[in-house]
Amino acid sequence: MRVLVTGANGQLGYDVVRELSARDMHHIGVDVNDCDIVDNDTVFTVFKAYQPTAVIHCAAYTAVDKAEDEPELCRQINEDGTRHIAQACKAIGAKMIYISTDYVFPGHGNHYHKPHDLTRPTCVYGQTKLAGEKAVQETLNEFFIVRISWVFGSNGNNFVKTMLRLGQERDSINVVSDQIGSPTYTADLAPLLCDMVSSDKYGIYHATNEGVCSWAGFAEEIFRVTGMNVEVNKISTDMYPTKATRPLNSRLDKSHLIKAGFSQLPRWEDALTRYLSCQ
């Protein structure tokens, strides 16, 4: 198997490349400087040169609020770029994993969203990621779509690093407590994606670390584990306005993952502790 990883310099792509290396799986990691996915000709040139048998497509526009000001750029990367990758996979018969997001759902209620529940994104980022899902489904007969949420990893910026930085600067921090979801540690997700791409168990999956929390609860656990004396003031979403609408409910049902025989990820608290021990 020859695996091509897009977005190799991002949080997830970085750990996927590391996991492929640890498994001695033939692979190449590319980022925008090596393969601008918005340029269809560039994508096909890279695919022709490397001839991958599988692609883990991690590259994406992920600046959720900025996307409200740059909707066309966000669409070009998340929709057009994904279609270009899917078309290149189809042309050479390569498997494809597309990384999607909890933002494809409207985020209401307190239920766990199942893979085939109604999607209705409420912000540009979510709309373009859903458009990417549809591009994959329209292009390929067999595919993996993996929705994740609240990502943190060693490479790049994330909520944990932000909390650690703010905790050094302040005695108390306001954090929203009415958005509920599951953190996803990229070092735990990467092995699952490698297992998945090595299989033919195609479909739409949800994959996060086990357990749920609010952003405020996530912050409290960060400070508890690190021993930082920082008070977390729990506030509602409407007290912290942002350009993009965030889903209040990001709970994702992972029964399809279990039914397919894939291993569940560890609980998010365990993942956080391991992550912080490496910082």
Closest to 36 measured CA to CA, from 24, 28, 26, 44 = 44
14 is annotated as an active-site residue: no
In eight-state DSSP terms, residue 67 is: G
CA contacts within 13 A on the Cβ side of 174: 7
Radius of gyration of the chain from its Cα atoms, rounded to whole angstroms: 18
Annotated active-site residue in 61, 103, 125, 185: 125
Ramachandran class of 197: left when φ > 0, alpha when ψ lies in -120 to 50, beta otherwise: alpha
Return the amino acid letter for 237: T
Residue 13 in tokens: 């792509």
* Phi-psi domain of 51 (left: phi exceeds 0; alpha: psi -120 through 50; beta: other): left
Q: How far is CA 53 from its chain centroid? A: 22
Degrees, nearest 5: CA angle 199-195-18: 135
Q: Which two tokens stand for residue 105?
A: 């759902």
Note whether 161 and 244 are within 8 A (CB).
Answer: no
Burial 218-254 (b: 16+ CB within 10 A, else e): bbbbbbeebeeebebebeebeeeeeebbbbbbbbbeb
Q: Which residue has 């458009």 as its token pair?
A: 131
The catalytic residue positions are 125
